[in-house]
A and B are shown apart, each in its own frame.
Chain A
Amino acid sequence: MKLSYYPGCTLKTKSKNLEDSAIASMNALGVELVELPRWYCCGTVYSLADDDLMRQLAPLRNLIRVKGEGNSKVVTLCSFCYNTLKRANLMMKDDQAKRDALNSFLDEEEDYQGEVEVVHLLEMLRDEIGWEAISERVKLSLGGLKLAPYYGCTLLRPQEAAIDQVERPTVLQDLLKTLGAEVVDFPFATECCGSFQIVSNPDFVLDCSWNILSSALRWGAEALVASCPLCDYNLSQRQGELVQGYSEFRQIPILYFTQLLALSLGLEPEVCCFDLNYIDPRPLLKSKGLLR
């Protein structure tokens, strides 16, 4: 099966570990992710202003490109891209006045009505491939690894863009259980990491990180599992300061769910690009016998 795939900016730079491990894993599961030609930035954050449609043009043009390629579905890996594309598409589907205004502005394009379906890779794994089919392909069980699924914001909010139950999601833990891992249920799984406040108020983001990470540690997690490059950065980058500031804190790596999937499917560890993780997960994985 071939599937149109929208990467977004950060997957081509800082988060190649997310992209490479996802493409390789999907190949192993019989799905070829075909990169959308000439894609550009989705805008990263969905505009919350009702009176300014200009900011919807970036995600919209990408969606029109997906349709132009003859595809009815596009898959994303980055949680931010997922949210922005998904919401722009819902707006085109549900809001006639905005749809008409945008279509008349985009006069070089054929009218767009929200025909493309925007899905996140976790939805693909759950709904199209299925846990059972994945479990049959597991070559290396992640048994003994205690993992805290961390969803963050943009996979779950708002309600109409949520890939799972807003307050009590299970998709990540279902995947991790399928891969054989021990799942740690902790109360900050859907709490915001501070997001783009890293640009303006990084010290408050550090406080958010402390809340999330110390909770995961208290509940026994050995690593956090994420899907968003911004969560990954915010939660990892300044853990050294938390170690210095709090005697009970110890470093905890953040892994992308795709890295664990690739490892579990028995793929070469090179596709996981573990060297790009801000906190090296390899000592932990080696100690569990999951990596040579």
Chain B
Amino acid sequence: MRITISPQRLSSEFVRKVEEISGQTLPSCYQCGKCSAGCPLSFAMDLLPNQIIRLVQLGLEEDIANSKTIWLCASCLTCSVRCPRGVDLAKVMEALRLLTLRKNVNYVEPSRIPQEVLAELPQLALVSGFRKFTA
């Protein structure tokens, strides 16, 4: 894969917003890959968690937008408790989701969930799912 990086990208509004929402210092990550090694959902991800944070560092917003990874994160915090650099990657994932959700774009559309599924799912599944995936 060929990517282009630039000083403008590295200090873009996108990078600044992710740092602001997540409260994390993005350059701390040195790409050891421990987050991806332990992630229980990584088998389903097109980009691995460590690749996501690398793309954020480089300001490559479009590559992240074209990936499903941030929507497969279950906020289980396995990466966060294991990071040797103290980066809370779950917070970075949340910030990336919020950049979309705050544009009033839902990832999950509650009205499209079938009635029988709504009746069957436990309440905490619905509330947490809607909190994570709706605007």
* A residues in contact (CB < 8 Å) with B: 8-10, 13-15, 41, 43-45, 47-52, 55, 78, 80, 153, 157-159, 166-167, 191-192, 194-201, 204, 207-208, 211, 229-230, 233, 237
Contact = CB atoms under 8 A, between A and B. Distances in A.
A157 B77 contact: yes
Interface residues of B, number: 41
B43 A44 contact: no
Nearest to A50: B23
Nearest to A84: B128
Contacts of B107: 200
B131 interface: yes
Contacts, number: 133
A8 B74 contact: no
Nearest to B73: A197
Contact of A51 (B21, B43, B131): B21
Contacts of A237: 120
A49 B40 CA distance: 22
Contact of B71 (A45, A153, A200, A230): A200
Interface of chain A: mostly helix, strand, loop or mixed: loop
Contacts of B98: 49, 52
Given A199-B125, A233-B121, A50 B91 contact: yes
Contact of B122 (A47, A153, A192, A233): A233
Contact of A192 (B76, B108, B121, B124): B76
A50 B22 contact: yes
B129 A207 contact: no
Contacts of A229: 122, 124
Nearest to B113: A199
A160 to B, nearest CB: 10
